[in-house]
Amino acid sequence: MTTRTVIITGANTGLGLECARNLLARDSFWHVVLAVRNPDLGNAAIAELGAPDRCSVIRCDLASLASVRDFVTAFAAADLPPLHAIVCNAGLQTVDTKFTDDGVEMTFGVNHLGHFALVTGLLDRLATPARIVVVASGTHDPAKFTGMPHPSYTSAEELAHPSADAAADGRRRYTTSKLCNMLFAYELDRRLGEGASGVTVTSFDPGLMPSSGLARDYSPALRLVWRVIGPVLRLLPNVNSTRTSGSRLAALAVDPAFEGISGRYYEGAREIRSSHDSYDKAKALDLWQTSERLVQHVTT
């Protein structure tokens, strides 16, 4: 019998699917909600996981704030065990300039704003003790050699509605969105009393996962290059399979070893310091206040 619910965004494939698989195998009392854009793919994932009585699919398109709002409403109406964990996992990296249904730049909209709306919309549904885990990336830190452009945080408004020049750099948009994940996690932790409220917040770098599907929006030529070099990359540090990183992500969400730990950042299983900019409270406040405004603009 399940007694606790965990929500995982992007749980139909890659890291999210492996996190769900590991979570189901850990404890029989967890019910997993797959928050996915395509319910058909979510139902196929449930069939693969082999625990249909312990899983549910609720549609959640992070590129649409209306869809996120509908998810929150549907979750509240569902007859599910109390919510004790949220895993903000879904993410994308685009090469072409795209925008969400709400006119927000797509990478910022999905990787940050959609999750911001989801988490803040679910806070009053959390039953303590509860955990929120935000999947970030080592690419947010310019001190690390990742082969990706350094993030460039000007203002949240500029990230949401970039100039033509800024919008053209898809890889930098991605690393900046990962910095936003860190800023959001730390600001959320501060606003929740740094664990004193019974809700903890941690962030996670899963490492480079060549089989994760993150390059799905690349051009055919770039996807071919990625498939060729992917196996070679596994020889480098912090390059992991989705199964390994999924196990580590699940542990942050439910393992008793992380009970009460909040405001921390993990590279795989190891706690480390995040980038210098990730601790910038002025940037975090700008991001939070702009995100609130963008969400409220759609819902009013």
The residues assigned a catalytic role are 174
Q: Tell the residue number behind the tokens 């606790």, with chain if given.
A: 4
Q: Tell the residue number behind the tokens 């009393």, with chain if given.
A: 193
Whether 61 contacts 36, CB under 8 Å: no
Whether 245 contacts 207, CB under 8 Å: yes
Helix locations, 90-152, DSSP H:
106-108, 114-122
Helix locations, 96-208, DSSP H:
106-108, 114-122, 156-160, 164-167, 170-191
Q: Is 79 exposed, middle or buried (0-12, 13-18, 19+ CB in 10 A)?
A: exposed
Spatial distance between the Cα atoms of 90 and 79, rounded to a whole number of angstroms: 24
